[in-house]
Structure 1
């Protein structure tokens, strides 16, 4: 189990807007390619004022080029228990 405080601390290390509502996606137990598809499906429904926080057990390398293609900003921070990728519109 990932400590919620550790995730919040990881998010605060990024340039993601702190004043926007956040949605969390725990992708650690999802088999490939579900973390990628679930993240992209959620982002397709997002307005520009939300922030997605993906918690995973590895850096989502295949996600990064897709986020770039779609104009999303993102940062990834490793914690002791997880890899936290924060995605937002800049």
Structure 2
């Protein structure tokens, strides 16, 4: 999962704040921290669902939506653990 944290989650959250889709009104301070309120959670989950449908290019050259790339990587990791193939991590290519 860590391979997808930056391109899927971190990038999404930063973009949502930059574009005003998430604002400080979507959060609340409590228990010594800052947490999303219910509206913020709904907003972020909706954006995350949209992000999972966006395509990206795997380092091996094929394109798939993020939701499928995560599944592909899980299968590739299993195969590597079982000694069936070499593992190729997912990373964003430099443009």
Is the pair's TM-score, using the shorter chain for normalization, greater than 0.5?
Answer: no
Q: What is the TM-score when the length of structure 1 is the normalising length?
A: 0.27
Q: What is the TM-score when the length of structure 2 is the normalising length?
A: 0.26
Which one scores higher on RCO, CA 8 angstroms, separation ≥ 6? Answer: 1
Higher helix share: 2
Structure possessing the higher radius of gyration over alpha carbons: 2
